Amino acid sequence: MRWQQFAALVTGNAPMPERGFSLALYYQVTLDANAGKDAVAWALTPEADLRQMALVYDWCQEVMTPAQKTALAGRISQALAAPPTGNIPETRSRALAAVALFDEVPQVPQKELERIVRVWWKDRIGRGVPRDDAYALYELLHAVRDTTIVELRDCCRQFFKDFPIEHLMTYYPAVFEGPDTMYYIGAEPKMGGNPDLRLASLSRAAELAMVAYDVNSAESQVIQGWLMHDKFILKSPFGAPYEFLWANPYLPGLSYFHVPLVYHNPENGHLFIRSAWEDGAKWFGYWDGTMQLFEEGKLTPIDSKTPLSMEQAVVCFGQSGKVFRVKLGEEEDAVFVVGLSPKRAYEVEIDDEEMVEMTTDPGGILMLEVPKGKDVGIRFRPFGGGTKSPQ
């Protein structure tokens, strides 16, 4: 069904937002020379971007004239000569361009790939990955591994073990009904109006690429279980090429209902909590200075003066006070204090327990264990603050 949808769009002359990528992919499958020639002609137009030029150059060699090949190679080389900005989508495009040109003029592409792998990667990956850059990241991973046999994940295995599950947990629970299919919408720092369905499509494409990159990991199998629901298949002129390129409906998947509903990553200071996996669940997110509560199908204001019960955990807001009273229910396993100073030592005292020193993670989060079913007070202050703990 994915091929039928994609082929129908191409043969029906639908306006494909990424025309070069779409026509080159169609040519690779069908060897339809007209599609390949159209892709090459588009790649030589002023609106062609580096990523699509590289894909067309790599996939449509057989239908290029010598003049077209020279012209397209020249445009790609010129783009590679420009100073890099360092963001993930641009670096992905430069890597694809270097791979495409490697057999023609290896000196410049080799230097570019060495720069990306040995310099840029080690610096950039330590600063995290914006959610909307996930697809570009995995396209980069595929391109580098498949052409150089370099596994970029080796320097940060834990990051990539956590990344698919964090990506899953950052979806708002409600399903958005688009004009062509159903979408889950990823959390955005500023959410207003209708969601960006292009970003929603790339978010799903990123997960499809995650599964293709490592089909045997438990995390990939969970993502596969999330992906294989027909009502979410990308059918738009923008999304259908990605769906066809990456999806493999024959791979087994694990139910995402097995994923814990509380996700706290102490390495980057992110916290995401769901009350359940159903579409009507309540959701809380705290990441990179953003704090959101989603319930009853929309973002809702947060009362930061009152601890928030999420059914699986309780969230207290350190920016609003230094004393809390909480009572964990049977299903709640932890208390998270958010909004504190990042990587700061605090003295924490829980009723009937000794005071302990704890250090917040990079997001300013403390995770506390308190007795269940008992109303307890929690007090804390910065370590070495020079004042008495509040009573």
The β-bridge partners of 186 are 171
Q: Which long-range contacts (CB under 8 A, 24 or more apart) does 42-47 make?
A: 43/72, 44/68, 44/71, 44/72, 44/75
The β-bridge partners of 330 are none
| Cα–Cα distances in angstroms (integers) from residue 154 to residues 146, 157, 267, in the given order | 15, 6, 17
Rounded to 10 deg, the angle between the 66-81 and 50-59 helix axes is 140
Average pLDDT over residues 183-212: 92
For the chain, the structural domain boundaries read 1-117, 128-259, 260-382
pLDDT given at position 373: 81
Return the residue matching tokens 């030589």: 44
**Largest distance between two CA atoms of the chain:** 81
What is the per-residue pLDDT across 252-300, written as a single tens digit (0 to 9) for each? 999 999 899 999 999 999 999 999 999 999 999 999 989 999 999 899 9
What is the per-residue pLDDT across 52-100, written as a single tens digit (0 to 9) for each? 999 999 999 999 999 999 999 999 999 999 999 989 999 999 999 999 9
What does the angle CA 315 – CA 318 – CA 321 come to, to the nearest 5 degrees?
115
pTM score over 0.85: yes
Nearest alpha carbon to residue 238 among 197, 178, 179: 197
